[in-house]
Amino acid sequence: MRPLRLLVLIPLLGLTLLSAAEDPIADFERAMAGQDQVAKKAAIARSANSSVGTDDVVLPLLARATDDRQAYDAAVSALRARTGLQPAPGRGAGGYPAYPPDDSGASWGTWIAARSAARDTEEQVKSNAKAIEDAKKKAAAAGDDAPATAVPGAEPGQETGAKPIAKAPTEAVADPEFGGLDRITFRTGGSLLCYVLGKRLDTDGVLVSVRVMHTDQGGEETLAADLIARIEEDIR
């Protein structure tokens, strides 16, 4: 029985070694840890193919590779291939979603961070929209005529793009811990009395999202900038 077991184990071992050797991410990291310029360029060239790994994994690796003198040119070419971007004439300005200001590891790292933030915001907007739709369906099934997306401070019948949240008291009172009350007016109508705790901006200084604290112990929430028409601070 021993020879039979060996015949079974040998092919399995071969498949395991082949799989490890064909892992492009592991190959990339091994190559970049060494001093073989040819190996580095070969590993980077493989990573330029969009079928190798995900952008969330590969792009940060390529950005770090631009700081390697031996790999700089190959890494920049691979980044351009993965993103489909090319530098504009008269460089000196830019950033996500356009080309970075330059091809340094820091600039590409900032570009990748902005890309991740934008994708997070898109996912939040989609999640908000789904929550609104689900709440509408639930209210319709229950025969409830009240707006499914009512927001504290909104007029009856008005809807907003914010996630469904608990109703605030009729008369909101400022909490000394957070300062004066702020008002957020939504693009789809209605407004929200709350405390603005912080604003998130992208690399161009454009508002991405706003973190708020609801009144009456309603908890915190992050609102996507796409939903907001106007912010008025310290109105009370």
Q: Give the full edge-to-edge strand order of the sheet including 228-232.
A: 220-224, 207-214, 191-201, 182-186, 228-232
Model pLDDT, residue 155:
46
Provide the domain count of the chain. 2
Contact 159, 190 (CB under 8 A): yes
Q: Is residue 146 part of a domain?
A: yes
Model pLDDT, residue 148:
44
Which residue, 86, 116, 145, sits at the end of a domain? 86
Residue 154 pLDDT > 50: no
Model pLDDT, residue 72:
94
Q: What is the pLDDT of residues 93-144, one digit of tens each?
A: 678 888 888 889 999 999 999 888 888 888 888 888 888 888 888 888 887 5
Domain that holds residue 7: 2-86
d(CA 229, CA 88): 32
Model pLDDT, residue 169:
40
CATH (domain of 179): 2.30.30
Q: If we measure between CA atoms, which residue out of 227, 222, 232, 230 comes closest to residue 165?
A: 222
Q: Is residue 139 part of a domain?
A: yes
Q: Is the pTM of this model over 0.75?
A: no
pLDDT above 70 coverage of the chain, percent: 73
How open is the CA angle 191-195-196, to the nearest 5 degrees?
Answer: 90
Residue 79 and residue 13 share a domain: yes
Q: Is residue 104 part of a domain?
A: no
Model pLDDT, residue 90:
64
Residue 211 and residue 134 share a domain: yes
